[in-house]
Structure 1
Amino acid sequence: MTKSDDAILEILDECGIAIPPRAIAFNVENVSRPTIDRRLPKLEDAGLVERYEDPQGYTRITNRGRAYLAGELDASDLEDE
Structure 2
Amino acid sequence: MTGSDDVILEFLDDTGAGHNLRGIANNFEDRGIEISYKTVTRRVPKLESAELIRVLPGEGRYFAITEKGKAYLRGEADLREEPDPNE
TM-score bucket (shorter structure) = 0.7 to 0.9
- 1:53 and 1:38 map into 2 onto residues whose CA distance is 21
Deviation at 1:53, TM superposition (A): 7.1
TM-score norm. by structure 2 comes to 0.81
Partner of 2:9: 9
RMSD, aligned α-carbons = 1.7
Radius of gyration: which is bigger?
2
Partner of 1:41: 45
Deviation at 1:57, TM superposition (A): 2.1
The runs of 5 or more residues in structure 2 that have no matched partner are none
Partner of 1:63: 67
- 2:82 and 2:71 map into 1 onto residues whose CA distance is 12
The runs of 5 or more residues in structure 1 that have no matched partner are none
- 1:4 and 1:11 map into 2 onto residues whose CA distance is 11
- 2:15 and 2:5 map into 1 onto residues whose CA distance is 16
Partner of 2:23: 23
Q: Secondary structure at the match of 2:54?
A: strand
TM-score norm. by structure 1 comes to 0.86
Higher normalized helix content (fraction of residues): 1
Deviation at 1:52, TM superposition (A): 4.2
Percent identical among aligned pairs is 45
- 1:77 and 1:67 map into 2 onto residues whose CA distance is 15
